[in-house]
Structures are given as C-alpha cells and as structure tokens.
Structure 1
Amino acid sequence: MIPLFVDCSDRRIVIFGGGNVAARKAAYFSGKSHLTVVSRSFVSAFDSLQATRVEIDLEKTSDLKLLDLIRDAFLVIGALSDPEINNRIGRLCRAKGILFNNADGESGDVVLPAVTGGDHYTIAISTDGASPAVSRFIREQIEDEFPALDAMIALQERLRGVLKEKEPDQAKRNAVLRNVLNDHAIWEQLFSDRGAAWKDVERRYLHG
C-alpha cells in the first residue's frame, strides 16, 4: 500500500455498522463527504455526525440490496461486529471495483490511518492494520511534543514571504528558515504568544 491524501468532499462514502467502531470511522468522514451509514441500530455517537442513516437488518439483506446500497460509492467500510458480513460486503465491492476498508475480517484495499493536524498541516500514521494502538501512540506523541506545530508552519509561511523580498540568495533564505525552525525559544513563544514570537524573529533574524 502507498499513502495518499484524497479529496472526499464530492465522494460517496458508505459505512456498514452502527456501533462505536463504525462511529469512529464515520467521524473521520463526517462533514467531509457524502456519508451514508447502514445498520439495524446506531449508538448515540452518531447523533452529532453529518450522515444519512439507513436502518436495515444486514443479516437478512440480499446481495441485490447490498449492491443497491453501495451503488456509486467511492469507498465502502465494513465495520460490523460480524466479520462474515463484512467479508461479504467486501467481495461485492471488489466485484464492482469499489474501494473497501474492513474493520474486522479479510483485508480490504484501504487502511484508515490515525490522523492529527491543524489549520496548516495533516499527519497520517498507519501500521497497515498491524497495531492501531501504535498508530494512536505516535499520533499522541506528535501532539504532545509539538503543540505549536500549526503556529510554526504559519510563521514559516510568513517568514518565507518576507525573505523573498529582502534576501535574493536562496541558500541564505533557507538557512534562516532552518535556524528559526530549530530555535527552541521561538517554539516556546509560539505556544503562548504568536505575536511576540514573530517580533522576536524580526529582531533576531531579519534585522541583522
């Protein structure tokens, strides 16, 4: 598998399952796609999600009905507690060339990563399904270690713009950007006061 970032805003995503696992996966796509969730019942976590619900007993659902439910889907997710039904849905998806993620059962074509991000970045971590706990651990470590990461990216973007006007030498511009990135004092200031951090960058890196 290879990592990709995909715009799902105009894509149809179908999730089979109404439990906590399905809700976590639905939250991944809620508000970012045309999301449909299919299950006999739904946990309360779905109440806050933007999704079309289809209430149906999947144990008694024919292949013809399942094919109708996944029609025009970009991605289908099997998040039911019964791996046999997940596998059955997966086989129908493969026959129709639809991407499939399986929470419990035979491997599909897609793995949903652990994700962290901000206004200016997204980081996705995956162990290819081998250990979701490790993926979560890495995500939590990044969040704990770099709480001002979003602010640093915004500062670097602003600094690049100023440097392009002030410094014609690209190597020197890159050196300033790298030095600011490695400046622990700037990181600490960004966490509490972005304005003060920028003034410090101006004083120490732009007025030399």
Structure 2
Amino acid sequence: MIPLFVDCSGRRIVIFGGGEVAARKAACFSGKADVLVVSRSFVPAFDGMGVKRQELELGTVTGRQLAPLLSGAFLVIAALSDPAINNRIGKACKAIGILFNNADGKPGDVILPAVTGGENYTIAISTRGASPAISRFIREHIEEDFPALDEMIGLQARLREALKEREPDQARRTAILWDVLEDHAVWEALLDDPGRAWDEVRGRYLHA
C-alpha cells in the first residue's frame, strides 16, 4: 500500500454501521466530505455531526438496495459488528471499482490510519491493521512529547523566510534551522508565548 493524503472535498463517502466505530470514522470525514451513514440505528455520538443518515436494516439488505447507496461513492466504509455483512459490502464495492475500508472482516484496499495534527501539519500512523493499539500509542506519544509542534513548524517557516533574506549560505541556513529545533528553551517558550519565542530566536539566531 502507498500512503497518500487525499482532498475529499465534495466526494461521497458512505459508511455502513451506526455504532461507536462507525461514529469515529464518520467524525474523521465530517465537514471534509459528503458523508452518508447507513444503519438501522445510530449511537448518540452521531447527534449534531454534520453527516447524512439513512435508516436501513443491513442484515437483510439486498443487492438492489445496495446499488443506489454505492452509486457515485468515492470511498465506502463497512463498520458493522458482523464481518460477513462487511465482507459482502466489500465484494460489491470491488465489483464496481469503489475504494473500500473494512473495520472488521476481509481487508479492503484502504486503511484509515491514526491521525494527529494541527494547523501546520498532519501525521498519519498505520500498522496495516496489525495493531491499532500501536498506532494509537504512537499518536498519543507524539501529542504528549511535542505539545508545541504546531507552533514550532510555524516558527520554522517564518525563520526560513528570514534566513533567505539574511543568510546567502544554504548550509549555514540549514544549520541554524536545526539549532533552533534542538533548542529546548525555544520549545518551552513556544508553549507559553509563540510571539516571545520568535523574538528570542530573532535575537539569538538572526542577530536582530
């Protein structure tokens, strides 16, 4: 598999299942795609979520009922507790060339990774389904160990532009960027006041 970041704006995402797993997956796409969730019932987590809902008994759903639901879908996610139903939906998707993610059953051709991020970055972690706990473990450690990561990326972008104007030597620019990354005082300052952190970096590394 190849990791990709895909813009899902305006794309149709269909999720089968109304439980907690389906709700977590729907939340990932809510506001970023045209999401339809199909189930006979829905947990409270769906309340207020910006997705469409359609009630349907999936245990006895026919191929004729599935067809219009799958039509035009960019990605289909099966998040039911019954692997046999999930696999059946996956088989239907494969027959018409729709990307498919299976929460429980035969793996599809799409894996939804554990994701963390901010305004300036996105990090996705996957064990290809072997250990979702490991993916979550890594995500939580990134969030815990680098609480100012988003602010540091913003500062680095600002510093790069300033260095282009002040420092003609590429090797020297790279060295300064790395020095700032390894400066624990800068990381700590970013947590308290990003503006003050920039003033410190400018004074110490740009001599301004």
- Whether 1:193 and 2:193 are equivalent positions in the alignment is yes
Aligned structure 1 segments of 4 or more residues deviating by more than 6 angstroms:
none
Which region of structure 1 is more displaced relative to structure 2, 162-171 or 116-125? 162-171
Taking the aligned partners of 1:118 and 1:70, their CA distance within structure 2 comes to: 32
- What is the number of residues matched between the two proteins? 208
What's the CA shift string for 1:121-150, capped at 9, x where partnerless?
Answer: 000000001111110000000000000000
Partner of 2:53: 53
Partner of 1:4: 4
Aligned counterparts, 1:107-126, within 5 A: 107-126=107-126
Which AA in structure 2 matches 1:179? Answer: D
Following superposition, the deviation at residue 171 of structure 1 comes to 1.2
Which region of structure 1 is more displaced relative to structure 2, 126-135 or 58-67? 58-67
TM-score by length of 2: 0.98
Aligned counterparts, 1:166-205, within 5 A: 166-205=166-205
Q: What root-mean-square deviation, in Å, do the aligned CA atoms of Structure 1 and Structure 2 show?
A: 0.9
Taking the aligned partners of 2:103 and 2:141, their CA distance within structure 1 comes to: 24
Which region of structure 1 is more displaced relative to structure 2, 46-55 or 11-20? 46-55
List gaps (5 residues or longer) in structure 2.
none
Following superposition, the deviation at residue 60 of structure 1 comes to 2.1
Give me the identity figure in percent. 68
Taking the aligned partners of 2:61 and 2:126, their CA distance within structure 1 comes to: 33
Partner of 2:65: 65
Partner of 1:143: 143
What's the CA shift string for 1:2-51, capped at 9, x where partnerless?
Answer: 11100001210000000001001101101000000000000000013111
Partner of 2:160: 160
Taking the aligned partners of 1:84 and 1:32, their CA distance within structure 2 comes to: 29
Taking the aligned partners of 2:49 and 2:180, their CA distance within structure 1 comes to: 40
TM-score by length of 1: 0.98
Partner of 2:28: 28
SS in 2 for 1:38: strand
Taking the aligned partners of 1:24 and 1:207, their CA distance within structure 2 comes to: 48
What's the CA shift string for 1:129-181, capped at 9, x where partnerless?
Answer: 11111100000000000000000000001111111111111111111111111
SS in 1 for 2:73: coil
Partner of 1:43: 43
What's the CA shift string for 1:66-90, capped at 9, x where partnerless?
Answer: 0110100000000011111100000
SS in 1 for 2:15: strand
Taking the aligned partners of 2:195 and 2:62, their CA distance within structure 1 comes to: 61
SS in 2 for 1:74: strand
